[in-house]
Amino acid sequence: MNRPTDAALETFRRMTSKAQFLAVEELMRGEEGQFFADTVTRLAGVFDAMPRTYETDGQGKAALCHLHYYTACGDWWIIERDADPDGEGQVQAFGIADLGFREYGYINLAEVLAAGAELDFHFTPTAAGEIMKGGR
């Protein structure tokens, strides 16, 4: 099996909850290990390549949502992530939140993950305008 690089694993660890990260680590040892190793590598690459804060300013509905997090109570789609100027780890992102209705805003990823949100492994990047049309 081709394992993800240490850098990809570290990025994936920062972008998932502890429980989801540990589950994926375990799944990489199983029968479908290559799928999960490839998923870690792919999603870490998406995260690393995402626009930083304000880079999509002016794109409006055409801005791409790159990642999707979900719980039973809400959804979050990430358009931009902090550039992490202080080196303390990814804390804030910009995107769309749906906790009963959809709106643009800043999203504290640490809080979203602490609330039990999981990263959607099968999400395809989608224009923000398309996400906003799908509101409850």
Are the C-beta atoms of 70 and 120 separated by less than 8 Å?
yes
Separation in Å, CA 126 to CA 10, 48, 70, 78:
25, 17, 16, 10
For residue 52, give the DSSP letter.
B
For the stretch 87-113, pLDDT in tens is 555 568 999 999 999 999 999 999 999
pLDDT at residue 85, rounded to an integer:
56
* Beta-ladder partners of 96: 77, 104
For residue 1, give the DSSP letter.
-
- DSSP run (H or E) holding 9: helix 6-15
Amino acid present at 76: W
What pTM did the predictor assign?
0.90
For the stretch 120-132, pLDDT in tens is 999 999 999 999 9
pLDDT at residue 2, rounded to an integer:
84
The answer to whether residue 135 scores a pLDDT higher than 70 is: no
